[in-house]
Amino acid sequence: MEAILLKEVAAILNLPERDIERESLKTFLEAKLKKLLIEQLQLTRKYGVKNVDEMENFYIEQKLSEKESWEDYFELSHNDAEIGSVKKALQKFFP
C-alpha cells in the first residue's frame, strides 16, 4: 500500500520517489528531534537543571528528592540518549 501511495504522490508532484523518501525521512528526524528537545527543556526547567548529569548531581547533593522526581529523571535520561541517536542519524545521512 505505501509503495503505491509513494508512486502516486511522486507522479503527481513529478518528483523521483527517492527524493520524496529522503526528504520525508529528514523531516521526520528533524520533527522528532524538535519534540525531544522541547520535552528535555520542559523537564530541565521544572527542576532547575541544565541536563541529566546536573540532575544526578542534585540527587547526590540532596538538593532534589528522588521520591518526587525519579520518573522525570529516567525520562530525561532516555530523551538525552534518543536525542543523541537522532542527531547521529541526521549527521550521518544528511550532513
Distance CA 53, CA 43 (A): 13
pLDDT at 1: 53
Predicted TM-score (pTM) of this structure: 0.86
pLDDT at 3: 82
| First vs last C-alpha separation in the chain | 31
Determine the average pLDDT of the residues in 39-56. 96
pLDDT digits (tens, 9 = 90+) for 17-38: 999 999 999 999 999 999 999 9
Listed in sequence order, the residues at least 6 apart from 25 whose beta carbon sits closer than 8 Å to its beta carbon are 93
Burial (CB count <10 Å: 0-12, 13-18, 19+), residue 48: exposed
